[in-house]
């Protein structure tokens, strides 16, 4: 009894954890992230957690009207491609300031180190004027940190996507009436990957995709296993023995060989991946369903249906299989973590989900490339995958013991 209560508590904890993960993805995408999953930031490759940059797809604006005059260098009241390109070049020169001229490697560029940077900072100095160092030194401590440089350069980093959002008349330039201020910065809460993409956004999308693949592949496996096992258990005799020996033969073939062959035969793609996983994971369920249907053939349920003159296929589909699946359903939930793990394993080998789609397996591959620069790139998708697998496994295991 105590074991059952412990199992129930574990199942409830697993269920709550899975619900929390399911709710976290859309809520975090709405409130915590301002970057799309494929938005690249070339100046922030493998950036550490907490780095900030200007988002492209979800920009916000601070309403600073004076920024327009600083960008409109020719004074014609319009911001064209040439002015925006020059502003971007100035921003790049600022963002390389810390990396190139931090002589003592303390993460700050002091006033004494700044003169050596003057030639490289010519584009930025042209925009910010002679007092560019003081303009960037927000805390007035005599040193520029990367955060201050990023904050000070945001006005200069308008991109074509921002211009398109503000260009209401569609003429390709920004008029003073269309200006809504400089773009505000958003935070990479977990840093970026090796291509400068927001890691939190990609982990959330990867969680959703991997969970969807696991559920869909498990459903395919459950349908195949229930049908195959049901037919074997209902027919019995030599047919049953032949069908079950076929499963034994498939069990003897290495899993990786079978699924790799299926992927190469069907071709790479999300639908083909689902079919490949589903065509491999159905065999354990088929064994369980076969035993349950064979047991039900000796009960009054089967005899009553046959006495009523129902055809054999209808007895199997309408009566035996639904009754057999009730005790088998908890076992079927264990197919979900198995399918998720298969997807992650195949994606890690390059046979599963293909970039740029960010499944958890793909994120593990990307994270392994840059684990030295940003450990979150590997730790976060690995932790989410572990929680997802443990939740489904604990939920299915607790239900199967009832």
Q: How confident is the model at residue 24 (pLDDT cuts 50, 70, 90)?
A: low
Distance CA 318, CA 303 (A): 14
Give yes or no for residue 2 having a pLDDT over 60: no
Q: What are the structural domains of the chain?
A: 61-183 (1.10.238.10), 199-400 (1.10.3720.10)
Whole-prediction pTM value?
0.80
Q: CA 239 to CA 257: how far, in whole Å? A: 28
Q: Tokens at residue 2, please?
A: 């105590």
- Give the mean pLDDT of the chain: 79
CA angle 249, 394, 233 (to 5 degrees): 35
pLDDT at 5 over 50: no
Q: Using one digit for the tens of pLDDT, what is the confidence trace for 316-364? A: 777 777 777 777 777 777 788 888 888 888 887 777 887 778 888 888 8
Assess contact for 152 and 94: CB atoms under 8 A: yes
Look at the block and give the residue holding tokens 């180190």: 113
Are the C-beta atoms of 357 and 270 separated by less than 8 Å?
Answer: yes
DSSP conformation class of 78: E
User: What's the pLDDT score for residue 402?
Assistant: 53
Half-sphere exposure of 196 (CA within 13 A, CB side): 12
Upstream peptide bond of 356 is cis (omega within 30 degrees of 0): yes
Q: What angle do CA 159, 380, 334 make, to 5 degrees?
A: 125
Q: Report in angstroms the alpha-carbon separations of 156 from 53, 125, 140, 171, 349.
A: 12, 12, 21, 21, 42
Q: Which two tokens stand for residue 130?
A: 């002679």
The string of DSSP letters for 79-95 reads E-HHHHHHHHHHHHHHH
DSSP 8-state code for residue 185: P
Residues 258-309: pLDDT tens digits? 777 877 787 777 888 888 888 888 888 888 888 888 887 777 766 676 666 6
- How far lies 170's CA from each of 67, 175, 181, 238, 284, in Å? 21, 11, 18, 74, 60
- What does the chain come to in residues? 402
Residue-wise pLDDT for 175-228, tens only, equals: 888 888 888 888 999 889 888 899 998 998 888 888 888 888 888 888 888 888
Helices 360-369 and 199-235, packing angle to 10 deg: 140
Is the pLDDT reported for residue 153 higher than 50?
yes
Q: What is the pLDDT of residue 1?
A: 42
Rounded to an integer, what distance in angstroms lies between the CA atom of residue 193 and that of residue 334?
32
* Tens digits of residue pLDDT in 102-147: 677 777 888 777 766 667 677 777 777 777 788 888 888 888 888 8
Alpha-carbon distance values, 127 to 61, 68, 135, 139 (Å): 20, 12, 11, 21
Whose CA is closest to 9, among 397, 331, 283? 397
């Amino acid at each position: 009894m105590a074991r059952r209560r412990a199992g129930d508590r574990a199942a409830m904890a697993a269920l709550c954890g899975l619900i929390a993960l399911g709710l976290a993805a859309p809520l975090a995408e709405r409130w915590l992230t301002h970057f799309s999953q494929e938005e690249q930031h070339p100046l922030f490759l493998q950036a550490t957690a907490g780095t900030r940059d200007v988002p492209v797809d979800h920009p916000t604006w601070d309403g600073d009207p004076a920024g327009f005059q600083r960008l409109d260098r020719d004074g014609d009241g319009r911001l064209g491609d040439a002015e925006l390109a020059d502003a971007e070049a100035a921003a790049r020169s600022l963002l390389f300031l810390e990396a190139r001229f931090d002589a003592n490697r303390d993460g700050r560029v002091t006033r004494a180190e700044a003169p050596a940077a003057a030639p490289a900072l010519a584009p930025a100095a042209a925009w910010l004027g002679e007092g560019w160092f003081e303009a960037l030194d927000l805390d007035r401590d005599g040193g520029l940190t990367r955060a201050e440089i990023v904050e000070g350069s945001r006005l200069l980093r308008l991109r074509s996507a921002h211009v398109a959002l503000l260009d209401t008349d569609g003429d390709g330039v920004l008029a003073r009436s269309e200006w809504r201020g400089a773009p505000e910065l958003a935070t990479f809460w977990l840093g970026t990957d090796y291509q400068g993409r927001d890691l939190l956004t990609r982990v959330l999308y990867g969680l959703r995709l991997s969970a969807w693949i696991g559920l869909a592949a498990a459903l395919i496996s459950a349908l195949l296993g229930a049908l195959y096992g049901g037919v074997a258990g209902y027919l019995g005799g030599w047919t049953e023995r032949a069908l079950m020996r076929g499963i034994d033969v498939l069990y003897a073939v290495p899993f990786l060989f079978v699924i790799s062959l299926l992927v190469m035969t069907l071709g790479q793609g999300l639908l083909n991946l689902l079919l490949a996983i589903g065509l491999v994971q159905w065999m354990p369920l088929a064994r369980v369903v076969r035993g349950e249907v064979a047991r039900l053939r000796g009960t009054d349920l089967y005899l009553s249906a046959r006495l009523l003159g129902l055809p054999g296929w209808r007895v199997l589909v309408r009566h035996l299989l639904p009754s057999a699946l009730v005790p088998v359903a908890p076992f079927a939930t264990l197919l979900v973590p198995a399918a998720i793990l298969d997807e992650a394993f195949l994606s890690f080998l390059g046979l599963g989900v293909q970039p740029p789609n960010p499944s958890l397996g793909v994120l593990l591959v990307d994270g392994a490339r840059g684990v030295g620069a940003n450990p979150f790139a590997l730790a976060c998708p690995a932790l989410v995958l572990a929680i997802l697998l443990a939740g489904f496994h604990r939920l299915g295991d607790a239900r199967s013991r009832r």
